[in-house]
């Protein structure tokens, strides 16, 4: 399973598809690695709208990976962790930790304001990144790309996908 079926969700109250630079970056990177983009949407920063979209993708047996950008900060409208967190079967705690460690090299202690996270829901990998173009580049280039590459060693999530439904 070398090419995965993915969905992208940008969470923003102001962006449209034509203005979604971070979504464009993620789409370009996904496609350059020969993954399949099933759907790309924009959602308002609304807990129930985010949950509805991600729940539908989690339920779709074709979708193996969901990547979101935006809504991971601390403003009153930032609600991605609160929206998606309750849907997770397992949290990938190392993702947020590693993202903030790498981010520290670029933005210093401001990285503590990032609530980037990842997890697994119904055998679907979910990665939630901040909305800035630099953040999605960092997250994709230094973490997600390798974990979706079946040839990356010593291990990767791509090779585990067929085993995610064990004992469910």
Helices (H), 108-167: 133-139, 145-147
Through-space distance between the first and last CA atoms of the chain, rounded to whole angstroms: 21
* CA–CA separation, 30 and 53 (whole Å): 20
In a domain, 168, yes or no: no
In a domain, 155, yes or no: yes
Per-residue pLDDT of the chain (168 residues; tens, 9 = 90+): 469 999 999 999 988 889 999 999 999 999 999 999 999 999 999 999 999 999 999 999 999 999 999 989 888 889 999 999 999 999 999 999 999 999 999 999 999 999 999 999 999 999 999 999 999 999 999 999 999 999 999 999 999 998 998 865
Q: How many domains does the chain have?
A: 1
DSSP codes of every residue in 7-44: EEEEE-SS--GGG-HHHHHHHHHHHHTT-EEEEEEEE-
What is the reported pLDDT for 73? 87
Report pTM: 0.96
Domain that holds residue 130: 5-163
What is the reported pLDDT for 1? 47
Beta strand spans in 20-162 (E): 36-43, 65-69, 90-91, 117-121, 124-129
Domain at 69, CATH number = 3.40.980.10
Entry field: residues in the chain: 168
Contact 80, 68 (CB under 8 A): yes
What is the reported pLDDT for 168? 55
């Amino acid at each position: 399973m070398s090419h995965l079926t993915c969905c992208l969700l940008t969470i923003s109250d102001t962006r449209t598809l034509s203005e979604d630079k971070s979504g464009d970056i993620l789409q370009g990177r996904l496609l350059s690695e020969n993954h399949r983009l099933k759907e790309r949407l924009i959602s308002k920063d609304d807990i129930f709208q985010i949950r509805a979209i991600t729940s539908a993708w989690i339920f779709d047996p074709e979708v193996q990976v969901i990547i979101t950008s935006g809504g991971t900060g601390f403003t009153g409208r930032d609600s991605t962790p609160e929206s998606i967190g309750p849907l997770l079967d397992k949290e990938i705690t190392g993702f947020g930790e590693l993202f903030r460690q790498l981010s520290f090299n670029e933005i210093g202690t401001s990285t503590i304001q990032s609530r980037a996270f990842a997890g697994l829901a119904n055998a679907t990998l979910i990665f939630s990144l901040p909305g800035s173009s630099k953040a999605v580049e960092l997250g994709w280039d230094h973490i997600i790309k390798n974990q979706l590459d079946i040839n990356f060693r010593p291990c990767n999530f791509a090779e585990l996908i067929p085993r995610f439904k064990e004992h469910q």
